[in-house]
Structure 1
Amino acid sequence: MANKNLTSYQKNLKILPWVAACTSFEALFPFFVIYEKSCGLSYFQIFITQVVFALSVILLDIPLGVMADIYGRRKLLFIGQIFFCFAISLFFLWPFFSGFLLGEFFLALSFAARTGVDTSLLFETTKHLGIEESYCEEEGKYQSYARYSEGLSAVLGGFAATVSLTMPAFLTWLVSFPAIFLGYFLYEEKLTTDASLSEKISSKLKTQIQLIKNFLLNSKHNFLWIFLYSGTLSAVIINIFWLMQVFFKTYQVNLVLIGALSFIYQISSGFVASKSSQFAKHHQLIFWLLPTLLQIMIIALGVTNSAWLFPFFFLASITFGIKITFIYNLLHPKVDDNIRAGLMSIDSLSTRLIFVLIALPLGWILDNISLNMGFWFLGIPNLFAIWIVLSGKLKFFN
């Protein structure tokens, strides 16, 4: 039985990167702002839809992460992918403000069901195989497959968009189906629960959330600050991604070229993610490097107007490529198995909370002031991440 389990876990290492590739094939999203503008939405309305997504994730992320800890990661990955397919279908079948709002809600359900679950299953796979020290390398591989898939989808989406701006959404919907079936072949040992967890779901969630709270309060590591640091960087990078699309529209960049540039953006992020294990031990250097790269980009794009400044966006892709693998590698070895997915969901929760604070003012700035001012505005939360490092809040992770 033990050998059979090991063989099954070995299959996970082969299947999970392809799950990442299918779930990250998002041909629509490099053109999402252009598509929504073509449907009559203002920048402020576009950012409202993103706030709906973020608020929904805030409400759902930890409960669904806890459900994954209780009922199993595979089930949540399966459910999450079904929600993703439905959300994408709404974007091209109901292309109005109300349709985008509903689509973002189901997209949030999908995201909340999957976030932290995939990386938890990957870490536990390496742990059961006795190769826990290889987790960072495997996580880098997983993230690189995701970024490469996003890059490929951007190129194909660019060509599809020349036919119709609806086509990238349909292409994303079409490719998302294989992930549902790939998830079926993943292996996870049947979770054992004590009597208290056989009660109704509300009691289970309460019990599990209390375990997470106790872990955070009693841990010698200051997890709250690492989550704030990580969430701030992620929120800034997400907003940079949306500003990149506004940048494309402002300078009327050709749709095929948008796809090609988005491809390079994602590929560079994937390449860095695949190599990030080589410098994962240099904690303080990376803590400083990530917000510094973003601040350089923000200043460059905030100072002047020129389409030739696009290469500075690659500083964000490099930051993102390093950040995910680096943060996960810091956290996983210090987290208990029975609360892993729920605790990792806090990283996403902090990201969305900070995103909500940024998004609506940013949308108003884009409609009423300028793109340059939008970049300067993003510098404020990024300086907060720099302050966290400067104040020594992350010293426990040396």
Structure 2
Amino acid sequence: MRINKNIVLLYIFSFFKNFLIFGAVSVPFYLHKAGLDYKGMFILEAVFSIGMVVFEIPTGIIADKFGRKISLLLGTLVFGGSFFIFGFVPVFHILIVAQIICALGMTMLSGADRALLYEVIQKSKASDKSGRIMARYDAFGTAGMLVAFPLGSLFVGSGIVSYTDALGLVFIATALAILLSGVFILFVTEDRGGIHSNTSISSLQLGINGFFYTFKHPKLRVFGLNYALISSLTFFMFWFYQALLLKNHFPVTFLGFVASGFNFTAMILLFFTPFFEKKPGIKNTLFLSSLIPGVLYILSSFIPGVFMAFIAIFGVTNFRMLRMPMLNSLMNKHIEDGNRATVLSGISMIERLSTTLLYPIVGMLTDISLSISFLVLGIITVILSVLLRVEEETLV
């Protein structure tokens, strides 16, 4: 079958949208370029998370009323523009504004890209290949990150420009990559006949409805809380791997290779999902994939050295990514078709709110000691892995 032009353009868009060159040096940027402590850094991230929730409604209206293509074009301009602010004016109160703008741009992109891709698939009569096309779209996005992360850290550690200047320039380069992604969207043909006015319920309202629905359903309550809370706790390793390695005198030049490495090994691990479902079983896999990250957090708080750091980083991130599709599948099995979007939005809201609440607490603990922060995260993760353990009868 002839490859559809629009699908190819969206693949390229996905690659450059995810070409986040700053990704593996964001912590050094906040600490050494912006001069913030961890509390300040995580307050900024909490602002971003709150912004993501607040902007769900207006940005959804833009996509519904004016079209996915317009939403994506505006999103790339706003999202990309926010990184120029990071690169040129790394001052705390200005960065708060930048995070709000970044959240606005992200919500314009979130969902609209997949909706447009789905419409393109339908129009090209390739519905039978939709799963494969969607997976390739995600793969191009992952490829963008795998290439961008090492490039960013190599540049920062290269000495071509001063260390602090390089930390700002990687954000500017990221902005340019995102703006470039918007150029490819310009050439995508959108069928406006499939666009409807904003009569559908908002994402925020879906989240609130789903939140209450999840707690009323015994099995979904177990799956949803397990998914949201463990994901929220293990998410912090995506921030702390940089701090942990730098603490152990690991060169900043190679941080990007570590980020690409744990993303790549997680992709490989996901291919063995059928093995984990059969041999240890879903119940044991879900329990161990929450317990082991907690134990690794605790061990890394007591045992110094790069070797322990690598075990903790790869263990926490890989188990987090392994368990998410399993829980997604279990949740979908127990959700009626008419409530699917509602419930999944509710669970996503629980995760986002949990992370937002943890940001300042974890930041303050890390300013005292990274080891204390890891110890607290580890103890909470271990406790929740036991309290939220999925039992055999829940799987039926």
Q: TM-score, normalised by structure 2?
A: 0.78
Q: 1:182 aligns with which of 178, 181, 184?
A: 184
Q: 1:18 aligns with which of 5, 12, 18?
A: 12
Q: Match of 2:322?
A: 322
Structure 2 counterparts to residues 114-153 of structure 1, below 5 A: 114-119=109-114, 129-131=126-128, 135=131, 140-153=135-148
Coordinate RMSD, CA, aligned: 4.1
The CA deviation at 1:91 is 0.3
The CA deviation at 1:46 is 0.9
Structure 2 counterparts to residues 1-398 of structure 1, below 5 A: 14-38=8-32, 39-61=34-56, 64=59, 68=63, 72-119=67-114, 129-131=126-128, 135=131, 140-162=135-157, 163=161, 164-184=166-186, 185=188, 187=190, 190-191=193-194, 193=196, 197=199, 205=201, 209=205, 213=209, 217=213, 223=220, 225-273=222-270, 283-284=282-283, 286-312=285-311, 313-323=313-323, 325-326=325-326, 340=341, 344-368=344-368, 370-383=369-382, 385-387=384-386, 389-390=388-389, 392=391, 395=394, 398=396
Q: Match for 1:171: what amino acid?
A: A
The CA deviation at 1:126 is 7.0
| Structure 1 residues 107 and 261: alpha-carbon distance in aligned structure 2, compared to 1, 3 A threshold | same
The CA deviation at 1:35 is 1.2
Q: Match for 2:315: what amino acid?
A: L
Q: Match for 1:51: what amino acid?
A: A
Q: Distance in 2 between matches of 1:344 and 1:116?
A: 13
Question: SS at 2:167's partner residue?
Answer: coil
- Bigger Cα displacement from structure 2, 269-278 vs 283-292: 269-278
| Structure 1 residues 256 and 241: alpha-carbon distance in aligned structure 2, compared to 1, 3 A threshold | same
**Residues 151-197 of structure 1, C-alpha deviations (whole Å, 9 max, x = no match):** 21111101221332222112211211232133342656634658x93
List alignment gaps of at least 5 residues for structure 1. Answer: 1-5, 198-203
Number of residues paired by the alignment?
Answer: 380
**Residues 15-57 of structure 1, C-alpha deviations (whole Å, 9 max, x = no match):** 4443332222111121111111112111211111111112222
Conserved 8 A contact 2:121-2:127: yes
Conserved 8 A contact 2:150-2:260: yes
Q: Distance in 1 between matches of 2:193 and 2:393?
A: 36
| Structure 1 residues 113 and 98: alpha-carbon distance in aligned structure 2, compared to 1, 3 A threshold | same
Q: Distance in 1 between matches of 2:61 and 2:282?
A: 29
Q: Distance in 1 between matches of 2:137 and 2:237?
A: 23
Question: SS at 1:110's partner residue?
Answer: helix
Q: TM-score, normalised by structure 1?
A: 0.78
- Bigger Cα displacement from structure 2, 221-230 vs 253-262: 221-230
Question: SS at 1:308's partner residue?
Answer: helix
Conserved 8 A contact 2:248-2:304: no
Question: SS at 1:52's partner residue?
Answer: helix
The CA deviation at 1:329 is 5.1
| Structure 1 residues 64 and 85: alpha-carbon distance in aligned structure 2, compared to 1, 3 A threshold | same
**Residues 215-262 of structure 1, C-alpha deviations (whole Å, 9 max, x = no match):** 974997955554433322332233111111211332332221222222
Q: Distance in 1 between matches of 2:254 and 2:12?
A: 27
Conserved 8 A contact 1:146-1:270: no
